Structure 1
Amino acid sequence: MYDVVVVGGGPSGATAAADLARDGHKVALLDREGRIKPCGGAIPPRLIADFDIPEDQLVARITTARMVSPTGRQVDIPVEDGFVGMVDRKDFDPFLRARAEDAGATRFTGTFLRIDRNNGWPRVIFRNREGREQHLTTRLIVGADGAKSRVGRAEVPGAEDVPLVFAYHEIVAAPRDLALYDPVRCDVIYDGRISPDFYGWVFPHGDTCSIGMGTERPDVDLKDATAALREACGLSECETLRKEGAPIPMKPLKRWDNGQDVLLVGDAAGVVAPSSGEGIYYAMVAGRAAATATAACLASGRPRDLALARKIFMREHRSVFRVLASMQNAYYRSDSRRERFVSLCHDIDVQRLTFEAYMNKKLVKARPLAHLKIGFKNLAHLSGLVRETHV
């Protein structure tokens, strides 16, 4: 009999399992293993500090972000007084699962099938590596099994309605030609020929590099678009080491729990930042909030305490998500809008406030005049009052 069974061992599920186990709860962590999510791998300093990520997990330290427009305009934005850490999910996720196990969680490998409540306490039914069905009896279930969550679709109304971006990337051997590639710079490509409604990326991972793109449109061939991106960046000849694809949710669910014994977190709850698609930090924060909520529910016996997870998360991050969603809706509609967005990124106030918000994961309120200036510039760019100058 477990207190909590966590279904899914990515950053969100592994974090929830580790926190609960450290607090003395009996926890099972069920994961399929062998699946690597397509991910640029960027993590901010706040994540490194809040979740005690060791140095050996960082494969690169990024000091510059380059924005590239449809016409080839390039804007380099320096990361002032810090860096953005890069991780490779093939190593980072197993590290988090192992840390949960070290904290006391019991690991199981298998594929979630269903939840059975016919014999009193809920039982998580899964197929093990031998193909046989097993069950784990528990008081509560945390569904951290990603976008299109099987747990969510079976248990939480509305879980199937979250909008999705389909992401695809290829991990390649990092090129040696520094004229084409900077190992401490992330390139973000806003170009409708690569993605008609999102963006492409080239992110350094030390000895390797992630090249990919995302889109909500099912008619776009992700592999062809990535091939075009590699060609445009001069990276076609790099050795391809891995190819990975998966859906990424773009909006937090209105409800994360079933009002009884199931709570969703991470991609299953839709906690990926709009506009940027950033998910690792928000997944781990949601996992920690899930641990708090399930611990409260176990102590009180009140199912309504499961709703604390969403309340805790949204209280801190709702405003950031709203601003990012508005930016995506405003600028990702067309190449002309994307051109104006990259033009806006020339502004030093935009650069500083963007990275302050990214590093600290909150809207920066220290410079209200800068915010006011940005608001006027944003309106000017969207209305076309600003004349484009290509550099």
Structure 2
Amino acid sequence: MCKTHGEYLELFCQKDQEFLCQSCKDSDHTTHKIVALEEEAQVRKTQLVREKKHTDQMIEERLQKIWEFQNSMKASRDNAAEAMSCSKRVMTAVVDYMKRSQAELSEVIEMKQKKTEKEAKGFIKELEGEIMQIKQQNLQLNQVSLDADPFTLLEKFISLTITPPQVKDWSDVTLNSDQFIAQGAWAKLETTVMREISMLCDPDLKEKQRHGVDVSLDPDTANLYLTVSADGKQVTHGDRKRNLPDKPERFGHVFNVLAKEGFSAGKFYYEVQVKDKTQWNLGLANQSINRKGDMRLSPTNGYWTIWLRNGHEFQANAGPAVNLPVRERLQKVGVFVDYEEGEVSFYDVDARAHIYSFTGCNFTERIFPFFSPCVNDGGKNSAPLIITPVKYEN
């Protein structure tokens, strides 16, 4: 009720932000914009809904960011734990291997030393035999030279038969002391140990490489700015658009290309060289993906990929993205897929280390290896993506 007029407050003054009765309106607020109380309440309610929607969105964005940070933190912890586990396995294996190799190494060194000693003793015996022959000849010569009578000396010398001793030229004969026996043996051991270490950093990568397949790029799917090599193993980005038919299977606006080979069952593995590149995309894609418009690389859209940007920004496009630790000197990426288990895993082949895995993937159609060399960036990213043969050592 209005305290001044005793009437119901049914109106609202938007200028003074006050509740009014009819008499208030006709007295002090005649020039102000007056609206019904219900109308003003509806306006304010709309504002509240809009504000709440905005604040809800802000909360959602921050929750999303927290989720991303938590995932990155988890990935970092997992990678750290994996690195610690790997280092322990490596050190244990190295110690065990060194212990096992010590006896073998000692035996090799001892055998070489015995061989050298035997050879030296043989040379010494042979030289001593020649010295005996030479001494016998010297004895004959001394007997003649000691004769004081000139006639007798000449007579003996003329009748003396001098037979050259059966000796050989020793000037070029040397004994190989093999002073680098230990260094050579250790170098061989070091090579073996390093190979064993490389296998230990991810012990099951070797098993995954057993599923290696021959993959070739499909030029009919390549964006018109991409060039696929004649053997189908390399792809680069160029500045000029190629004059080729725009087939339905060809990527239109993004610099992508698929493999010729698609898979709808089983396990398979392939490797891609990314050396000297500052950006690229690699992974798997559904056959039914949109190839003509822009698309977001995520499992929801039928992509399971990782990428590199600016030479150091490394992430898995998991929707939301997961930032990955930068891998120094990453030159070759291995991709393993288990269709039935819904797994797509990426590996640093040279370091034999795990990079990232998509798990629980629900594959329902044919999937294809997916590649993008990205723009050449004025030559900074001109190196090709190269599909390389899988080297599986049994």
Q: Determine which structure has greater relative contact order: mean sequence separation of CA pairs < 8 Å that are 6+ residues apart, divided by chain length.
A: 1
Would the TM-score normalized by the shorter structure come out above 0.5?
no
- The structure where strand makes up a greater share of residues is 1
TM bin (shorter chain): under 0.3
TM-score for the superposition, normalised by structure 1: 0.22
Structure showing greater Rg: 2
> If the length of structure 2 is used for normalisation, what is the TM-score?
0.22
